[in-house]
Amino acid sequence: MVSPAPSPAVVTVSRGVRVGYGVGSICTATFSTVPGLLLLFYMTNVLAVPAWIAGIVVFLPKLWDMFINPWVGQRSDRTVSRFGARRPWLLLGAVTLPVTFALTFAGPPLTGLPAALYVAFFYFLTATAYAFYEVPYKAMPAEMTDDYHERSSLLQWKMVFVGLGILLSGAVAPVIAGTEASGYRTMGLVIGAVLLLSMLGSFFGTARAPMVARAETEPSIAAQFAAARSNTTFMVLLGLSCAQMFAAGAMLAGAPYFATYTLGDPAATTTLFLCLVGPLLITMPLWVRLSKRYDKRGAMLLASALFMVGAVGMAFAGPLGWAYAHACVFLVGVGYAGLQLLQFSMLSDVIVHDALVTGKRRAGVFTGLWTAAETVVFAFGALVLGWLLGATGFVESDPSTPVAQPESATTAALYGSTLLPAILMGLSILLTMRYTLTAAKIKEAQEAQEAGAAGVQEG
């Protein structure tokens, strides 16, 4: 009789690789935050684009993600190079995204529909360049280690840099942009440089990243969708993540309007973001401990509940004032910190469990579809807010001709950026209760795989 093969040792990711991988999250956080925070407001209040058109401009390029992201996932699964499968794509993103991002905010001497068309064209290119980077970047943790809690530890570093990225983009970008087109032009250049440094940092920082197994690819985009649909756990996770991203997208797009029309202080956009990013920087170790104690589903339920309560509280900020509003945003930030960590950690778990059950490595398949849905739904939050503003009579303007907004529009801006996200977060809680993948289930799948391998050897 042949003795069963010993269980493979846990591959520990070195601190240097953790930091190198994590620094790339400055790019993902910055790119997600700056357009989500400023692009809609930039078009309606600087380029005099009607709100409903501005919402479409923010959203339509993201529809392209439904096609380009799965394609990039498929191609990165197949890539063979001396840099590995994923890193060449990180480099491609690094040389394209900063340029297209800066051009999106270049502040052309245009207003209205011509300005909207200009922004839409370059934002389309920007979305494409971002897909080159983001899809393979998110596939990497599942290929670095097979250990359930090691992935949370790895992603803890990622979340630290996410916090730094949001701090930069949420607090600094609005200050640089100001209220004039020239300020937005400068902001685009500065943030473009930050994106470049972050992406190059992750490219070089992951040069020595371990790879526990190589991903396999599906033969077509249709096969990728079929593979995803066949994994019930992935579909549940995707659904709850989409609800959360819709909530975050609507709240983020509404932040400048909330600061301007509810608090009466446009500069409060910066301080509100400081309240949001503070928890991201200080609560990551806490969320890792909570995920170990209550498993990741329990921690996700808590994080979603905190976000929802804070969002509901924001709806009453008008009469209760500046300090109350910032306290509510801080509570949202604590919840959002947990969501950011747990979403990516749970996605890596799903990828690993799928490999154990099916015998296939399909990280690019799942991350391609994940990032496509994530970016589309995030932008859809801004689209819905833009439609709400347009339907309630919001008046577009430029800095030289400020206008008084009707009460219906300011009310829509308030509830669209607070109660609407709260409702979506409630939906995510219901979906999270259907998520059943735990550390015990992954261990069970690993033992089944090892038993199967032992049986083959005995045979």
Supply the DSSP symbol for 38: I
- Any residues with CB less than 8 A from the CB of 33 and at least 6 apart, and which? 165, 166, 169, 170, 173, 252
Single-letter residue type at 114: P
Please work out, in degrees rounded to the nearest 5, the angle formed at the alpha carbon of residue 342 by the alpha carbons of 148 and 300.
115
CA 440 to each of CA 160, 286, 299, 346, 357: distance values in angstroms, whole numbers, following the listed order = 28, 22, 16, 14, 14
* DSSP-derived 3-state class of residue 253: helix
Q: How far is CA 438 from the centre of its chain?
A: 23
SS3 of 102, please? helix
Q: Are 242 and 370 in contact (CB under 8 A)?
A: no
Backbone angle region of 321, left / alpha / beta, with phi > 0 → left and psi within -120 to 50 → alpha: left
pLDDT at 445: 76
pTM: 0.71
CB 442 within 8 A of CB 349: yes
Q: What is the pLDDT of residue 8?
A: 43
CA distance linking residue 204 with residue 19, whole number of Å: 11
User: Number of helices (H) and strands (E), helices first, in the chain?
Assistant: 20, 0
Please tell me the distance from the alpha carbon of residue 426 to that of residue 428, in angstroms, as a whole number: 5
Write out pLDDT tens, residues 125-145.
Answer: 998 999 899 888 877 776 776
d(CA 348, CA 366): 9
Specify the residue for token string 């756990």: 233
φ, ψ for residue 84 (rounded to 5)?
95, -175
Cβ-proximal residues to 3 (8 Å cutoff; 6+ apart), any chain: none
Structure tokens that stand for 139 in this block: 């596939």
pLDDT mean by block of 10 residues, the chain; 459 residues: 39 74 87 84 88 86 80 78 81 94 88 91 92 84 66 68 78 84 92 94 82 57 68 88 90 86 84 80 83 88 96 91 92 90 84 78 71 79 85 78 81 91 95 86 76 60
> What HEC string does 91-160 produce?
HHHHHHHHHHHHHHCCCCCCCHHHHHHHHHHHHHHHHHHHHHHHHHHHHHHHHHCCCHHHHHHHHHHHHH
Residue 266: the pLDDT is: 82
Residue reference for tokens 């197949």:
78
112: left (phi over 0), alpha (psi -120 to 50) or beta: left
pLDDT the model gives residue 456: 55
